[in-house]
Amino acid sequence: MEMVIFFLFAALAVGSALVVVLHRNPVYSTLSLVLTLISLAVLFVLLGAPFIAALQVLIYTGAIVVLFLFVVMLLNIGREEASGERGLLQKVAAGVGALALLAFVALAYWGAYGTREVGPLTEDFVSLEVLATQLFSDYLLAFELVGLLLLVAVIAATVLAARLGNTPGGGESDPALPEAGEEGI
């Protein structure tokens, strides 16, 4: 039963992720992203981490992707125009980027597990208490730095928005635009 659910949602996650990248209509891409994130949340539940699954749905599908959809619809981006032939440089850059990402993932995996036996997740590894304790002791520096990063992003967005507001016809005139600083959620 668990295997069936796992393979179903793993396939769904990979398939919808492919649609995100390949579909020409940004609205459909964004919707596929929702499907990807929900599939991942189901996989988290299967791993015995319902808290992380709930956060995944609450923060990513419930807020961030809604924001993506908001921007896509606000800017009224239609079907992506056929941008013609892609240059050789672009292809090479894309290949290098993909390889680098793969290398990073492999390195991270090797660093975390190495040659150790990989067992199933246990309650004292993913439970809320353990997660919170780890986050606020061992990983406190990383946690605070991420917070700082978000703060910087919020300030940057505010500065950009304020600068837009100074030019005639920008800023205040668009009532549908939310207050700056949403990016930091």
| Region 9-28 residues binding another protein, contact defined as CB under 8 A | 27
E strand or H helix that includes residue 90: helix 88-113
Task: Single out the residue of 54, 121, 157, 164 in contact with another protein (rule: CB under 8 A).
Answer: 54
Q: Tokens for 4?
A: 């069936």
Q: Could you tell me which of 4, 35, 5 has the C-alpha nearest to residue 17?
A: 35
Binding mask 63-102 for another protein (x = CB under 8 A): x--xx-xx--xx----------------------------
Nearer to another protein, 16 or 61 (CB): 61
Q: How far is the CB of 10 from another protein (least distance, A)?
A: 21
Say whether residue 34 binds another protein (CB under 8 A): yes
Q: Find tokens 């492999």 and name the residue.
A: 106
Q: Which range binds another protein by CB under 8 A, 1-9, 61-69, 81-89, 114-122?
A: 61-69
Rg (CA), the chain: 20
Dihedrals phi, psi of 154, to nearest 5 degrees:
-60, -45
Q: Which residues contact 155 (CB under 8 A, 6 or more apart)?
A: none
Say whether residue 181 binds another protein (CB under 8 A): yes
Cα–Cα dist 20/40, whole Å: 15
Cα–Cα dist 33/183, whole Å: 18
Q: How far is the CB of 71 from another protein (least distance, A)?
A: 9
User: For binding to another protein (CB under 8 A), which residues are involved?
Assistant: 27, 31, 34, 50-51, 53-55, 57-58, 61-63, 66-67, 69-70, 73-74, 128, 175-176, 178-179, 181-182, 185
